[in-house]
Each structure stands twice: as C-alpha cells, then as structure tokens.
Chain A
C-alpha cells in the first residue's frame, strides 16, 4: 500500500471506533465496492429473516425452566395480515382469551414476537427470569407466550386475566445493525382500546453485549414495576429517575 492509502485506512479505522455508521466505504465509480454492497445485503437479509422467522414458543418455555406458561395468538391469522393490520395484532384470538387463567395477579409477563421473533428467542426468557427474581412477594401470573402479537395485545391479556399490570417483552423492528433487539413495555391497569402508548413505560434495545444487559434491564424493570405499584400508574408521569437527562 502507498503511504497515503495506509494513512487513509488508519483514519477511517479510527473514525469507525466512534460510530457504527457505514462510513469510509470507498467507491467503485459512483457506487459501493462489491464487498460493502454484499455486507449491506447480508445485514438486510438478517433483518428480513428476523421479521419473517416463525415464533417458537417452545424455545421460550424451555428458557423459563419450569415457570408456567400459556400460549395465545392474536387475531392476525398470518404474517402477511399481521404486517398490514396492526389492529388485529393488538387483539387476542377470541378462543384464546377464553382459555386464559384468571387470578389476583400483581403482574403478568407477556412475551410477544412483534417484529423479530429472533429477539424474543434469544433474550426474553432471561429478562423474565432476572426480573422475576427481583420481585419478592409478588404474585406473578403464568408467562403468556403470544404469536403475531403487538404491544397492546398485553392490554387484552392483562384485562382478561385480572392482572394489575403487564410487562410486554416484544421483538423490536429490526434495523440493519440490530436484528435481535428486545423492547419491554410496562403498563399499569391497562384497558383494551382505552390505554394508549402515553400510558406505558418503555425500555428498548435489550440486546447484550452491545445493548442493554439482562441485569440492567431487570433492575430498571423491577424498579419501575415497584414504583408503578406504589403510585398506581405508569406512563409519562412515572419517570425512570436513574437516568434523567440533563437539561
């Protein structure tokens, strides 16, 4: 390599330490070099596969090691419908609603495939285990494993089971640099069709080692759940005071 080329690669490799953005890719004419074009396609393929891979509740149930689980589906019969009809992904399939156990639960965890079943397969069981371990004396419902499900399906689940709050662990929309990111949404006393996103608290990017760790997520979630129970609310009035932004 020429001296200039060496300097160039050093410059970009040091700059790439500071961002995951696809910078300094070089050119083939006006276009991308072949290697970078194929790398982009590989990342896109991983994201597409994450969206379309089938949900496997057995994987989650095995990861929960003995914690009781219940399986439900939303009213969206297949992936194609699910992607175009978010309203159906928010509603339980009526037969499944009838089969949910009821009780005086303090909280229910719902694991929803969302837009990345890969994210829930890889991370959801660990987050449930770690969070539940921090909730002494809580009366927790069986974990609900929900297919073709969006966040608000948790409202329907909690309402049907009689749970005081719901934590939905859901596969986030895959980006090209993260196809396995898990989100957690906490809602106190949800009412289907009335509760809005402003009534929820959210943790996103649970995805160790690059994103939020399991213990980090569990600490925050258990803390928020405890404060939600004390205050009787979630949403914009329940702040995560551990990381308030400087103003």
Chain B
C-alpha cells in the first residue's frame, strides 16, 4: 500500500508505512545516517499531510516489521487491547492528534486508552505535533508506580542519584552519594553505572547501597545497572537486589545485540518479584532506552529512529516497571546532532512512553561532541518539568566522571522543583524532613554538611 499527497505543485508518494513515518519525522542526523530521512523540507511536510489521513487501524493491519521475524512486533500485536482502543478506533492520525489535545482526553481517558495504543500509533501522532503539543498532552498523563517510594504523583518530581565512579571505589561512591542526599536527591532510585559487569563488583556496590539505605532508613531503592543475566545470577545467590535493570530496544535483533530476549526478561521479572523487597509497591524493573540504539546495532529494519524507540516501550510495559528513562543525548551527534534535536527527541520519547502507560523519566544529557551545552540542559529540564516527567537523572555538577557525558545536576533538580513548585516523592519528603533537610517552605535546606548526621556516610568510608 502506498501513500500520497500533493504539496508545492508536486505529487509525493511514499511506498510503505515505514517510509511514510520516516519521511514525516522531524530532521535528525540518525535518520539521515540510516538513509531514511525526507529528501527535502517539502517532502517532510508532504509526508505529514499523507500521514494525517492514515486511519489508526492501519497500524494494526500493516506491521512495520514482520510478525513472523520479530518478537517485539508479536508482543505489540498479541497484547493489543481492542476494547481499550475502541474510543479512538475510528480516527485517523490527524484526528487522533486533535482528540488528544481536546479536554475530553483527560487523565482518566488517557489511562484507560493506554493498553489500546501501539507504539507505532503514538510515534505517528507525535510526528504531527509541535513541541508544545507534546508537553500539553504528556502533562495530562499520570503513571504512578511504587517500590519503597511512590513515583509519578501530581506535583512531584523524583530524581535518580547517580554516584558513579570510574573504578567503583567504595569511598568515592559514598562521597558522591552523600553529596546527592544532602541536595535532596535519590527518591526515584540510587543508581550506579558500574565500571565492570563482574558479579563481584556489582555485588559489592549493591551491598554498599543496601547498607546505607537500611542504616538511615531511606525510603528509596538501589540499582546497580548491570546486565539482566548478572542480576539473575546475583538474586539466586542472595544479593540485595531491589530493582532489576536492563537497556532495551525496539526490535528483536537490537535486543539480541544487548544480549537480551523477552524470555530472559520474564525470568528476571519473576525472580525480582519473588524477593518482595518493596514496601509501598511492587514495581521491580528499571529500563533504559534511547533513540539510535537500533541503528547502531544495525537492527532498525528501515524504521525511523523515533518509531523504533517507541517500540522499546512496548517491551518495557510488559513488566510494569518502576522506572523507565530515555538516555536522550547519550549516543552522540550521529543520532541527535544538537540541542534542538535532543530536545525534540526528549519530548517525543516522554510523550510516547507516557501515552503507552509508562512511568517516564529522562536522562537529559549530551556528549561533548554534540552541539549542546548547559543552557540546553536547562531548556529541556524546564519543558520536561512542565510536561510532568516522573523523574530525572542527576549527577554531581552535571558531569559524570564514569560515563564521560553531561547530564542534569542535583542543583538543576532543586531549580526545577523551586520554579514549578514540585516536591519529592512523599515517603522521601517525609524522610528528608525527619533528618532536618527540609526547610519551612518544603525546599531543601542548605546544610553545612559537617554538622549533619548523614555525613557519617562519607566520613567512615573516606577514612
């Protein structure tokens, strides 16, 4: 089936749904690298005209990647909830955009619709939306999850405290952990990217974090971001695993390049649930995604960067995760060239994930070879705060010394909470209050550190 429109006195023709979606995508370097981008600005808009007329049901009838060869396609189609889809089943993509923006599409309607949407539908509609549209609709969606803290409530913004260290030195990690806690961070998760995936190194870090969380009765969860097979191994040996982490992507082949299958994720999910380590909820998975991973694995099947990213969210939602974040500018300028492209991708990913029912957070970040700086971080942070992101990742001074990239800082999170009146997760907020870190207005008190009881974390380990 082909798709056509007339624009600028020319008839534009797109041979497949995948070609149409790719041509309708906003400009980004990754789609050009893959040879999928629109050949001109007019062709891009022509593709959007044609896409606006496509019925949503077409995405159920015409899989972008064949059902027979890709288990993510099978997952999407086999779990599609036709009853939930019914309210929008008669709409085209263009009409769907207008419905999403209408007052009738409120939090309850959007939550009920989520199981009826496929990644391709939400990716398609996002291509017809401006940045402000993506904010306005995502803001209406609330996805609430819980483990030892509750994430995603209205008026709340959680943070991941990321105390990475290039050699996993316990004292170095503890020093960065103390810094983050004193700045009121860590209610989404205290999450470390370890320098190696060795089970011993991962276990040592898990025990370090578990010790601090228990000793200070912090209502949060830890995660050492290792491969899912490492977590399964460690859980079987009694290591204190709170959340199981995995990077995932939107095709079977891209997941294979990460060494992951749905079967492996099923196994890890069951094992983590069985540990029953949550206190206020039982969401036990943590996923990271990011545009470009399928292309870099040579596994995109001719599907554009953003649509294939949205398909990763279908994998995530199978496991009721506590947290999902797109690591939006991590891979580099060959996928997202500059601050403008990274911002657009961040808003798209957040919107698509939220509509599909996920607790979306972001690692708002860039590498130094991308054309971006700390002002781009501030812009993205502000827009995503308005859009109602569940959490953001924070690093000391915004500089991750392990992964060599720039992310938001603990200070950035303080800024966002201040200007938008957002508060930490409720359990974590009470804990901050109990240890004297909350000021009378509910902000984080500027502490001298030395006099604070938490500093024992740093003093003992640095000794």
A residues contacting B by CB (< 8 A) are: 4-5, 7-8, 10-12, 14-25, 27, 29-32, 36, 40-41, 43-44, 47-48, 50-51, 83-87, 115, 173-179, 245-247
Contact = CB atoms under 8 A, between A and B. Distances in A.
Contacts of A47: 368
Nearest to A46: B368
Nearest to A30: B414
Contact of A20 (B401, B415, B417, B448): B401
A236 to B, nearest CB: 13
Contacts, number: 150
Interface string B150-191: 000000000000011110010111111011000000000000
Given A19-B172, A44-B373, A173-B367, A85 B33 contact: yes
A11 B451 CA distance: 10
Nearest to A85: B33
Given A7-B450, A40-B397, 13 more contacts: A4-B450, A7-B448, A10-B450, A17-B462, A19-B173, A23-B397, A30-B411, A32-B397, A174-B404, A176-B404, A177-B401, A177-B404, A246-B198
Contacts of B334: 83-86
Contacts of B173: 19
B414 A86 contact: no
Contacts of B397: 21-23, 25, 32, 36, 40
30 contacts: A4-B448, A11-B455, A15-B178, A17-B462, A18-B174, A19-B173, A19-B175, A20-B401, A21-B179, A21-B395, A23-B176, A24-B449, A25-B411, A27-B446, A29-B418, A31-B415, A32-B409, A40-B398, A40-B399, A41-B374, A47-B368, A86-B33, A86-B334, A173-B368, A173-B369, A174-B369, A175-B400, A245-B196, A245-B200, A247-B200
A164 to B, nearest CB: 27
Q: Which of A19, A27, A247 has the most CB of B within 10 A?
A: A19
> What 6 A-B pairs come out closest when comparing CB atoms?
A22-B397, A175-B404, A7-B450, A19-B172, A47-B368, A30-B414
Nearest to A7: B450
Interface in B241-280: none
B450 A175 contact: no
A86 B395 CA distance: 29
B424 interface: no
Nearest to A45: B373
B369 A176 contact: no
B63 to A, nearest CB: 28
B451 A7 contact: yes
Interface in B372-392: 373-374
Nearest to A196: B298
Q: Which of B163, B450, B461 has the most CB of A within 10 A?
A: B450
A21 B175 contact: yes
Nearest to B162: A21
Nearest to A26: B446
A16 B334 CA distance: 35
Contact of B401 (A30, A50, A86, A175): A175
Nearest to A11: B450
B406 A51 contact: no
Contacts of B174: 18
A1 B368 CA distance: 38
Nearest to B367: A173
B205 to A, nearest CB: 14
Interface in B330-371: 332-334, 337, 367-369
Contacts of B443: 30
A22 B399 contact: yes
A15 B462 contact: yes
Interface in B187-240: 196, 198-201
A237 to B, nearest CB: 17
B442 interface: no
B318 interface: no
B32 interface: yes
B115 interface: no
Contacts of A32: 397, 409, 411
Interface in B430-463: 443, 446, 448-451, 455, 458-459, 461-462
A176 B198 contact: no
Nearest to B178: A15
Contacts of B374: 40-41, 44
Contact of A176 (B178, B406, B418, B448): B406
A18 B462 contact: yes
Contacts of A22: 396-399
B29 interface: yes
Given A15-B462, A30-B411, A51-B368, A21 B163 contact: yes
B228 to A, nearest CB: 18
Contacts of A4: 448, 450-451
